[in-house]
Amino acid sequence: MDNYRHRICTAINPDLPSAAILYETSGQTGDNVAGHDFAPKPNSALTLASVLMPITTYHSEPHILLTQRASHLQKHSGQVAFPGGKVEADDATPIAAALREAHEEVGLPPAQVEVAGVLDTYETGTGFRILPVVGFIADPFTAIADVNEVAHIFEVPLTLALNADNYKEHKVMWQGKHRRYHALEYQGFNIWGATAGMLLNLAKRL
């Protein structure tokens, strides 16, 4: 992707959202595209989380790094996800939380991350408001999985991940209601749910 850094930097928000967006309102985008009865109600208590969308260089081409969560985890086990998690009280900012989680989960030193900006907050049907943080990773970097949280680490070519036409819509019954969601298949990994939703949001901005 020629000039992908410039395209991404001009397509995302360079600054953190306001405190109201982060802590008080519903997510700006999210699982509610599946229907208003699926997402938490606007007055629900949503837990703020943040994820790092790490853009790496692999074989001289830009890729995005993803993880597959460990099978023994109670929540979202086996699912594909970005490094990230709940914003803790001692995290200076949600961006700092995303960098901390990436360091813990895949061994990425925060100093190797050039934070480009953030996407709109993403609200999940499971009660999270997620801030996606986009960062470019300086070489050399070798990912090391925290086996307590991560089963696999893999990279998807940016040309594939940021092409909106590659995302297929699926329909299922969930908790007695029809749900629509997008998914992207890559080398046996099923990228879906919030992870696919956040990638698709970025793809649509480019």
Q: Which residues pair with 181 in a beta bridge?
A: 170
- Whether residue 70 is predicted with pLDDT greater than 90 in this model: the reply is no
Domain that holds residue 16: 4-205
What is the total count of domains within the chain?
A: 1
What CATH number did the domain enclosing 31 receive?
Answer: 3.90.79.10
Task: Give me the residue label for tokens 């480019």.
Answer: 206
Of 43 and 67, the structure prediction assigns the larger pLDDT to 67
**% pLDDT > 90, the chain:** 68
Do residues 106 and 150 touch, judged by C-beta distance below 8 A? yes
Q: pTM of this prediction? A: 0.91
**Confidence at 21, pLDDT banded by 50, 70, 90:** confident
What tokens does 116 get? 């480009």
Which tokens belong to 129? 């408001």
71/162 Cα distance (integer angstroms): 27
- Say which residue the tokens 């919030």 belong to: 194
Confidence bin at 20 (pLDDT 50/70/90): confident
Q: Which residue has the tokens 């649509």?
A: 204
Q: Is 4 buried (19+), middle (13-18) or exposed (0-12) by CB count in 10 A?
A: middle
Q: How confident is the model at residue 2 (pLDDT cuts 50, 70, 90)?
A: low
**Looking at residues 96-122, what average pLDDT do you find?**
98
pLDDT of amino acid 86? 96
Instruction: Work out the average pLDDT over 79-98.
Output: 97
The per-residue pLDDT of the chain, averaged, comes to: 89
Q: Is the pLDDT reported for residue 155 higher than 90?
A: yes
SS3 labels along the chain: CCCHHHHHHHHCECCCCCHHHHHCCCCCEEHHHHCCCCCCCCCCCCEEEEEEEEEEEECCEEEEEEEEECCCCCCCCCCEECCEEECCCCCCCHHHHHHHHHHHHHCCCHHHEEEEEECCCEECCCCEEEEEEEEEECCCCCCCCCCCCEEEEEEEEHHHHCCHHHCEEEEEEECCEEEEEEEEEECCEEEEHHHHHHHHHHHHHC
pLDDT-wise least confident of 81-85, 124-128, 155-159, 191-195: 124-128
